[in-house]
Amino acid sequence: MNTAMAFVAALLLALRAGSVAGGAPDAARSVPVFEAVPYVTAETSMFGPLIEGAAVDKSGNFYAANFNDTKAATGMAFPAQRLLYRDKAKPRSWFNAIRFDVDAAGVQEAYLGDVENHRVVRVRDPGNSGRFAHSETFCASPDMLQPNDLAMAHSTHRLFLSGMRFTQDSVVGDGDLWTCDALGKARKLGSFRRTNGIELSPDEKTLYVSEASNRGGNVVSNVILAFDVDVHSGDISGKRVFADFAAIDGSGANDVDGMRADAHGNLYVARWGAGKIAKLSSAGALVAYIRLPSIDEVTNLELAGPRGTDLFAVGACKSDPQKGCIDAYSAPVQGRAFSNLHA
């Protein structure tokens, strides 16, 4: 067995062990609490404290932003740490979101949300060699607040974008929702209070967006909104509250950050400041928690790995806040993004 294969085998063994170790029920909510395991530690990390933008490509490789503690750089984290893309033309770029897609010709593409320049950058891998280049601005608008996070409708190659600004007292307009069609045409879908995490259901018929509210500089509310969505036109309708964390577990003061769905429609939600992931059913019910040993301020997550079932969560390291850590957990169902990339 070569070094790379031995490394992957050891990781998968650790993931299985971590998944089983914490299966005791949570007394307060009577839901299981599972334990993730450290994957990238403060001692081994090549990512900075602003690590974000968790993403998976078709091969199951896992990526994140803030590679080499550089806002303009993104990198692979699994199965090895290396550079994905660094914007040398605009070194003041700040990539905070990553999503992958495959075009009609079978070429893999990465879409990078640039909060500083109010745009999405597309980089392509024409030879499918794992080396991305050929960068271009895919869509942009000076009216975008950021974007902060992205969701990809793989069936139509349409992106959905969330953005936010943090104010003392939240008002409608502190968050926004945009879409970019397959040709890169950007259109605003609405204004909200502070929006952050964004995801689609596996059938691409429901769009989830988090919305938070501040009062006097303190976070007082965190909900996940759901919309009916037409991924051909980009239109949304039927706004409703999918989950309210004040009602679910009293954690309305902890921000919802990144969100990712699995292929069965369960939603994994990063609970910033709480050091855990909440798993919600497709009906919005709390199913489980996943505790993170290395991270309190978890920013994002994705299901990746060879089968798309290895959940990687990212955030600043507890032991060294100047480094970005990654914890891992073996999930029972593969992720939506991984599954849809193979559809």
For residue range 111-139, list pLDDT tens digits in order. 999 999 999 999 999 877 778 888 999 99
CB atoms closer than 10 angstroms to residue 169: 12
Q: What is the largest CA-CA distance in the chain?
A: 58
Buried b (16+ CB within 10 A) or exposed e, 87-111: beeeeebbbbbbbbbbeeeeebbbb
Task: Please write down the long-range contacts of 107-110, taking CB distance under 8 Å and 24 or more positions apart.
Answer: 108/57, 108/58, 108/132, 110/55, 110/57, 110/63, 110/74, 110/84, 110/85
Give residue 287's identity as a one-letter amino acid code: V
Could you report the per-residue pLDDT of 280-338, keeping only the tens digit for each?
Answer: 999 999 999 999 999 999 999 999 999 999 999 999 999 999 999 999 999 999 999 99
> What torsion do the CA atoms of 124, 128, 129, 133 make, to the nearest 10 degrees?
-10
H helix or E strand, kind and range, residue 20: helix 3-21
CB atoms closer than 10 angstroms to residue 250: 11
Burial of 23: CB neighbours in 10 Å, binned 0-12, 13-18, 19+: exposed
Q: How far apart are CA 327 and CA 40, in angstroms?
A: 7
Q: 4 phi and psi, to 5 degrees?
A: -65, -45
Range list of H helices, 195-268: 245-249
Could you report the per-residue pLDDT of 67-119, keeping only the tens digit for each?
Answer: 999 999 999 999 999 999 999 988 899 999 999 999 988 999 999 999 999 99
> What torsion do the CA atoms of 121, 113, 288, 271 make, to the nearest 10 degrees?
160
Beta-carbon contacts of 195 under 8 Å, excluding residues fewer than 6 positions away, are 148, 162, 163, 164, 175, 176, 177, 209, 210, 211, 212
Could you report the per-residue pLDDT of 226-284, keeping only the tens digit for each?
Answer: 999 999 999 999 999 999 999 999 999 999 999 999 999 999 999 999 999 999 999 99
Task: State yes or no: cis peptide before 147, omega within 30 of 0.
Answer: yes
